[in-house]
Amino acid sequence: MTYQTPEDRLEAIDGVLTALEGKKRAILTTHLNADGDGAGSQVAFGSWLRARGVEAWIVNPTPFPDRYRFLFDGSFWIADAAGPESAKLCEEADVAVVLDTGEKHRIGRTRPLIKGLPTVVIDHHPEGEDSIEGVSFRAADASATGELVFDVLSVAGGPWTEEAVRGMYVAILTDTGGFRFSNSTARCHQVVAELIGRGVEPDEMHREVFGAVPLRRFQLLRHALTHLEVDEHSGVAWVTVPTKEYKELGAVPDDLENLVDYPRSIEGVKVALLFRETKENTTKVSFRSNGPVDVNALARRFGGGGHVRAAGALVVGSLESVRAEVVEATRQAVENTESPTGTDSQE
Ligand SMILES: [Mn+2]
């Protein structure tokens, strides 16, 4: 079974291709603290644009993660959103492409830079209330934004650069947790089969992404696990990143990727949480559900959002108070999901 672009995506893809017609310079951005999907999709889309003669630049609200720099084939077309260079680049651009988010507040300091530009959004998150305007290709049933980038390239007929195929592979590899999560669909495996057919080497990608862990990440994990708590009764487990050790180790947000999978993987756990103080009086919360609790809805109550099974929120308040509040709300969400009032939960 070979891959076919889903019918219901074709119109939006056409819109994207039309919006890009005749463009000379594109600014690519993604959400704060780019993950493998955001970064991989950017490299893929940018490389494709460059191969078509469009000068693509990555301008992210937070630094492009070092661990995904291997995706570039020699030259890095990244500009720091906080520096003067990017303002000039954006001024002289004629289109902006936002990948792996469609919400204004998620692109931080990049937002004012691209405000005046025609914008294309390519994203697989459920659409929020803070939507970025412009042309959009959104499909919440996609495993990763990388899958949607693949759709665009397929309809366009390539070109398939090495950077592009590796970028898309890494996007899907990381957003599916190495093909372990519920978004590891048949469709995503078909896309991946095509990418492997175009030269991606899975073992090499795995080694690059998962096999070069900085030692500090294990040191941080050791500290974080001393703050692991489990409420066996409600099936909620949470881990807290200790601020002092985080600073002492010189850790970066990227070091926390997948840390929440530890509480999530404990027997009987339905929802896992991770807490980290990002600055004084602000706490970042990561939510992961093993189903059926909708953590997107839960995170939205705290001003965040994401997917049904993976979401996040930045909450104002001390670590202790935010943690107490979120844990309690999560306990209640688990309870409400298990016994919806007035209906038969078996239906
Ligand atoms: Mn994603």
Cα 175 to averaged position of ligand 1 atoms, centre (Å) = 6
Q: Does any domain span residue 343?
A: no
Cα 339 to averaged position of ligand 1 atoms, centre (Å) = 31
Instruction: Identify residues whose C-beta is under 5 A from ligand 1, the ion.
Output: 37, 100, 144-145, 175
Query: Which among 153, 180, 210 is the end of a domain?
Result: 210
Question: Which one, of 298, 307, 306, 308, lies nearest residue 333 by Cα?
Answer: 298
Q: How confident is the model at residue 1, as a pLDDT?
A: 64
* CATH code of the domain containing 268: 3.10.310.30
Q: Looking at the structure, do residues 203 and 247 belong to the same domain, yes or no?
A: no
Cα 342 to averaged position of ligand 1 atoms, centre (Å) = 36
Question: Which one, of 133, 65, 146, 54, lies nearest residue 100 by Cα?
Answer: 146
Q: Residue type for 41, please?
A: S
Cα 26 to averaged position of ligand 1 atoms, centre (Å) = 21
- The count of domains in the chain is 2
Q: Looking at the structure, do residues 179 and 225 belong to the same domain, yes or no?
A: no
Q: Name the DSSP letter for residue 106.
A: G
Query: Which among 210, 229, 245 is the end of a domain?
Result: 210
Q: Does any domain span residue 344?
A: no
Cα 289 to averaged position of ligand 1 atoms, centre (Å) = 16
Distance from C-alpha of 117 to C-alpha of 108, rounded to nearest angstrom: 16
Q: Domain range for residue 329?
A: 216-338
Against a cut of 0.85, is the pTM above it?
Answer: no
Q: Looking at the structure, do residues 70 and 89 belong to the same domain, yes or no?
A: yes
Phi then psi for 141, rounded to 5 degrees? -90, 0
Q: Are 39 and 175 in contact (CB under 8 A)?
A: no
Q: How confident is the model at residue 345, as a pLDDT?
A: 36
Q: How confident is the model at residue 97, as a pLDDT?
A: 98
Tens of pLDDT along the chain (347 residues)? 678 999 999 999 999 999 999 999 999 999 999 999 999 999 999 999 999 999 999 999 999 998 999 999 889 999 999 888 999 999 999 999 999 999 999 999 999 999 999 999 999 998 888 999 999 999 999 999 999 999 999 999 999 999 999 999 999 999 999 999 989 999 999 999 999 999 999 999 999 999 988 999 999 999 999 999 999 999 999 999 999 999 999 999 889 988 999 999 999 999 999 999 999 999 999 999 998 999 999 999 999 999 899 999 999 999 999 999 999 999 999 999 976 554 433 33
Q: Which residues lie below 8 Å from residue 299, measured CB to CB, with a gap of 6+? A: 285, 287, 305, 306, 311, 312, 313
Q: Is 171 exposed, middle or buried (0-12, 13-18, 19+ CB in 10 A)?
A: buried
Helix ranges, the chain (H): 10-20, 36-51, 84-91, 110-114, 145-156, 162-175, 186-197, 202-210, 215-225, 243-248, 261-264, 295-300, 319-338
Q: Is 114 helix (H, G, I), strand (E, B) or coil?
A: helix
Q: Looking at the structure, do residues 69 and 178 belong to the same domain, yes or no?
A: yes
Q: Looking at the structure, do residues 195 and 295 belong to the same domain, yes or no?
A: no
